[in-house]
Amino acid sequence: MDLGLKGKIIVVTGGAKGIGAAIARHLAAEGACPVIVDREEQASWELVEELREAGVAAGAYIGELSEPTNCREAVYYTSREYGRIDGLVNNAGINDGIGLEYGSPEEFMTSIRNNLLHYYCMAHYALPALRETQGSIVNISSKCAITGQGHTSAYAAAKGGQLALTREWAVELLKYGIRVNAIIPAEVSTPMYEAWINTFEHPEEKLHRINAKIPLGNRMTTAEEIANMVLFLLSERASHITGQHMYIDGGYVHLDRAIDAIANSINGTYGSLRLK
């Protein structure tokens, strides 16, 4: 399926690593030009070099997104350098564990700034350019917003805010033909995830227990599987989809966990009983 993304200029925040990097690579593979906005200078330029060496256009703007002026500059840079913006992927974020018991109002607000404010700022500053192209916005949220996680109030609030803004912007931007959707990942192996899993005393064991609870295949979602949906939503192929929250999680949030043992042991006793 041709997604029609060739030549499109797509801004990807947090595009240097993890899910954002997978999105940037997939965009490049479709002939689009990803513009990475990230605070990780080395990782950003390494990825840009990798893509350019493969013969595709790519760019980067290095900056800390919690500072609104950096969001504005990132958008201005992209418009100046490439002449247009066809899509915005708000993706940068960090699960920083600012909880109710272990946290403070100041830390809560800092985390909101790190995780939510720049989603607004990027969309705000990119809007004039997106109006011209009838571009599209994809917000990367988290299952945390739906299920909670414990000990991470600010991140959960930010992720919930992103889902609310997705609906709100979808309504506000109807008149411009700008579509806005959100993706809700659950467990995706990325540098951030690895850092989190390594905070446990027995990370391997913890990972094994998490995988066992993921209904489809007892495995984590790959960053590429998230990227596939992002590209589809950015493309004209999703021309009548807006205001949606898409779960890309192997059934983690919605499927009955009790069925897990049955569904995933089709060669075992439970499975054969069920298949008969």
The residues annotated as belonging to the active site are 155
Give the CA distances from residue 255 to residues 211, 234, 267, in Å, rounded to whole numbers and listed in that order: 14, 27, 21
Among 5, 12, 61, 66, binds ligand NAP (CB under 6 A): 66
User: Interface mask (CB under 6 A) for ligand NAP, residues 161-180, using x and -?
Assistant: --------------------
How far are the Cα atoms of 86, 155, 225 from residue 254, in angstroms, in the given order?
Answer: 33, 21, 18
Give 50 or 177: the residue with its C-beta nearer to ligand NAP.
50
150: contact with ligand NAP by CB under 6 A: no
Q: Which of 111, 142, 153, 181 binds ligand NAP (CB under 6 A)?
A: 142
Least Å from the CB of residue 9 to ligand NAP: 19
37 or 85, CB closer to ligand NAP? 37
Least distance (Å) from ligand NAP to the CB of residue 165? 13
- Per DSSP, helices labelled H in the chain are 18-29, 41-53, 68-82, 105-112, 118-133, 144-147, 153-172, 191-197, 203-212, 223-234, 260-263, 269-275
How many CA within 13 A on the CB side of residue 63? Answer: 22
Residue numbers 15-44 binding ligand NAP by CB under 6 A: 16-20, 38-40, 43
**Of the residues 91, 136, 152, 166, which one makes contact with ligand NAP according to CB under 6 A:** 91
Cα–Cα nearest to 180, from 134, 139, 127: 139
Task: Work out whether 62 is an interface residue with ligand NAP (CB under 6 A).
Answer: no
Per-residue buried b or exposed e for 188-224, using 16+ beta carbons within 10 Å of the residue's own CB: bbbebbeeeeeeeeeeeeebeebeeebbeeeebbebe
Q: How far is the CB of 62 from ligand NAP (least distance, A)?
A: 9
- Pick 10 or 19: Cβ nearer ligand NAP: 19
Site for ligand NAP in 215-274 (CB under 6 A): none
Contacts of 229 (CB under 8 A, 6+ apart): 183, 246, 248
Structure tokens at 177: 């033909």
User: Does 93 contact ligand NAP by CB under 6 A?
Assistant: yes
Binding site for ligand NAP (CB under 6 A): 14, 16-20, 38-40, 43, 64-66, 91-94, 114, 140, 142, 185, 187-188, 190-193
